[in-house]
Structure 1
Amino acid sequence: MSQAGWYPDPGGQPGMYRYWTGSSWSAAITNNPMQAPPQGGLGGPPRPTGQPGWNPNQRRRSPIGWWLGIAAIVVVLGLIGYLAIRNLGGILGVTPSTGTNPTQNVCPKQVATTVTPSPPPNDGRVHGGALSYPQLGDPWSAPAPETRVPFGRDVLTQTVMVEPNYKGDQNSWVASVLVGELVAGDGFFSPQQGSEIVVKCIMGVFYDDAEVVRDDKVNKASTVGGKEAWLVETHLTFDIPNLKTKGELAIILIVATSDASSSIFYASIPDTAAQLVPDARKAMSGLRVG
């Protein structure tokens, strides 16, 4: 299937159609396969085109009616502008003054699955989702399943203890490197959109109640094994009681490993363990798909 157009939704939504750009599925769906393509081939439903025709026989409204209509439009546009500006930082995740709020639903909804991941091969690599990287040696732990990542499943991780028991026996701070299948919506999103979903989730749930300030160092398109990808490297700063670490480097690489699914490489290296950053970069440079 190479011709762009609307096709029955491969996500399985009855009566719905999803746009095929000629190389990938878009996020746009519709119940009318005859409508125009979405703008850019990736976004939501297309904007309506054209304007209603002017009827010269139509009765003219009184000037008072026009002024009242204009005033109402100004009020509505002002309210929309205010709400858009207020929420822009939360949507993009880049406003320095925006703190996290664990009560907000900022992470993808977990979807139950009955599929049991196949045991990873014993090939000296760490496998998760459709990605793998060369296993890191000492001081990194042996690869272990990680079920607490809200944006992933089939996840394997390696960690290094940085601050044990900073808040009781059950709370320790670690450096981590992991790979897994990305869980976000129905899977029909670009790697760039997926990266923003993950960054918002990380800032929303990984740092207790602390305000988190995001400072992107890298935010760009990439490729892994010939697959479309998006790389974000951001420095996050925070102040959590009893924790010496006040910031860390987060590396998020989203790879479109198939038409309707993506995988993630994620590394989190605290500033107090900066000597581990080269290990994380080595793992990322050794990524393979499949």
Structure 2
Amino acid sequence: MAQSGWYPDPAGTPNRYRYWDGTRWSAETADDPRTPPPGMASGPRTARRNSRWPLLAGALALVLVVVVIAVLVLRGGGPAALTDPNPPAPSISGWNDSSPLPTASPSPTPPPTSPSGDPQGQTACAAGDPYQTETHPSDGRIHGGSLSIVQPGGDWERDDDYARQMTWAYDVAGADEWVEPEWLAMVAVGDVHAADGFHNPQQAADGIMQCIASSAYYQYFVGRTTLFSRAFTRDGRSGWAIRAQIRVDNPEVHASGDVVEVIVLDAGVTGQLSYFAGFVPIGDQARLKLLDTTIAGLRVG
């Protein structure tokens, strides 16, 4: 989870910074991010180490902050803001979980306005239970929710723990491959629940993409570009697919970010939607081809 510090003012005021203390924003603003924290004497700031995939402690910290922020008034009641099944489409915002992204040509989103990519006004991601699992066939495929995918070959390993850092979901399973010491490619499947604010495939796909982009997966976030947002059908089940580039400027990695695809299908289970999520580095054509192959092999059941 991101550390406390000065970040661009979430209100959007140019050249102004607001202090994030780990749970909330300060009332004070400053024009220099080197300004001492409000009410504290000046001194050196502690260096922080960030990575694309934080360990379990980082995931637990993320859950704690999400739960705390979800109850604040500025959140509008937490996941309830995801409940509108036909929300209006925004012009450029990539930070409103309640609204689907534009389906026209790719458009960049503005940079984040908080250390976790979670500015004022953005809906807190639901607190699901990714370790809550269902019984699935032992057929060599990776099953989560009502979907399954082929286990990628080569250096890819079955690794549910990293996939289960998608803390807003349930019954999550996945596989990943190290791209470099601080960066992973990953594919995963799981469920999201209507009770948490995910009500139809299009709205849920956008909400999941927002949760991914604003999570601790992508500290040093600098922007997001939607490549497509369109209807998707598999095995007679209707759904929605969104592919985006999520870009970072992380000094500890060579990767400039990921191509992320989220697919949500209504598999006919009351109160639930099933999803696929895939992450491969931007510009990595071999892994992008593997992502497309994995999606081609996606099954309901």
TM-score by length of 2: 0.59
CA contact (8 A) 1:161 1:175 kept: yes
Displacement after TM superposition at 1:210 (Å): 2.8
Match of 2:180 in 1: 163
Which amino acid in 2 is paired with 1:157?
G
Q: Does 1:139 align with 2:152?
A: no
Displacement after TM superposition at 1:263 (Å): 0.8
CA contact (8 A) 2:240 2:264 kept: yes
- Whole-angstrom distance in 2 between the partners of 1:87 and 1:283: 30
Alpha-carbon RMSD across the aligned residues, in angstroms, is 3.0
Match of 2:45 in 1: none
- Whole-angstrom distance in 2 between the partners of 1:142 and 1:129: 17
Q: Please, which of 253, 260, 272 is the counterpart of residue 261 of structure 1?
A: 272
Q: Does 1:232 align with 2:242?
A: yes
Displacement after TM superposition at 1:271 (Å): 2.5
- Whole-angstrom distance in 1 between the partners of 2:198 and 2:286: 37
Which blocks of at least 5 consecutive residues in structure 1 are unaligned? 1-26, 29-41, 45-83, 165-171
Aligned partner of residue 265 in structure 1, secondary structure:
strand
Q: Please, which of 256, 270, 282 is the counterpart of residue 293 of structure 2?
A: 282
Alignment of 1:27-176 (within 5 A): 42-43=85-86, 88=93, 90-91=95-96, 92=99, 96-99=109-112, 101=114, 102=116, 103-104=118-119, 106-111=123-128, 116-145=132-161, 146-164=163-181, 172-176=182-186
Which blocks of at least 5 consecutive residues in structure 2 are unaligned? 1-82, 102-106
Larger Cα-atom Rg: 1
Aligned partner of residue 182 in structure 1, secondary structure:
strand
Displacement after TM superposition at 1:85 (Å): 8.6
Aligned partner of residue 248 in structure 1, secondary structure:
strand
CA contact (8 A) 1:181 1:262 kept: yes
Seen in structure 2, the aligned counterparts of structure 1 residues 86 and 137 have a Cα distance that, compared at 3 Å, is: closer
CA contact (8 A) 2:94 2:210 kept: no
Which amino acid in 2 is paired with 1:285?
A
Seen in structure 2, the aligned counterparts of structure 1 residues 160 and 262 have a Cα distance that, compared at 3 Å, is: same
Aligned partner of residue 218 in structure 2, secondary structure:
coil
**Count of matched residue positions in the alignment of Structure 1 and Structure 2:** 203
Displacement after TM superposition at 1:97 (Å): 2.2
- Whole-angstrom distance in 2 between the partners of 1:198 and 1:228: 17
Match of 2:29 in 1: none
Seen in structure 2, the aligned counterparts of structure 1 residues 278 and 142 have a Cα distance that, compared at 3 Å, is: same
Displacement after TM superposition at 1:117 (Å): 2.4
- Whole-angstrom distance in 1 between the partners of 2:91 and 2:244: 23
Q: Please, which of 233, 255, 260 is the counterpart of residue 245 of structure 1?
A: 255
Query: What are the superposed Cα offsets for residues 266-287 of structure 1, whole Å, 9 maximum, x if unpaired?
Result: 0000136431112111111111
Mean alpha-carbon deviation: is it higher for 276-285 or for 186-195?
Answer: 186-195
Displacement after TM superposition at 1:150 (Å): 2.3
Q: Please, which of 210, 213, 221 is the counterpart of residue 210 of structure 1?
A: 221
- Whole-angstrom distance in 1 between the partners of 2:225 and 2:132: 37
Seen in structure 2, the aligned counterparts of structure 1 residues 224 and 216 have a Cα distance that, compared at 3 Å, is: same
Aligned partner of residue 257 in structure 1, secondary structure:
coil
